Amino acid sequence: MAIATGGSRLVAEKTLQVLGLSDLFDEVVTADDVTNGKPDPEVFLQAAERIGIEPTKCVAFEDAAPGIMAAQLAGMQVVAVPAPMHLV
């Protein structure tokens, strides 16, 4: 599995460490690794390449419209993850 985030490497790696999830991912591709951010598919394509999986055989979990578009443009299936709702 890989992470393809529009965030920085520092924030992504620190978040994974704090949550105890670092060992679950083979690769982490961040905004620091690509020229074009989402909705460009570059971050997703690079993640798929790094783990050796064709993009069309990948599933992306995304919480924002630019990421959903980027994953679709990369040829991936996308699962839209809704943002948490805070009810008053």
Assess whether pLDDT exceeds 80 at residue 86.
no
Q: Are the C-beta atoms of 73 and 40 separated by less than 8 Å?
A: yes
Residue 67: name the closest of 45, 35, 44 by CA: 44
pLDDT tens for each residue of 15-53:
999 999 999 999 999 999 999 999 999 999 999 999 999
Quickly count: other Cβ atoms within 10 Å of residue 29's Cβ.
Answer: 23
Element at 4 (helix H, strand E): strand 2-4
Which pTM was predicted?
Answer: 0.91
CA dist 59 → 49, 51, 62, 69 (Å): 14, 13, 10, 13
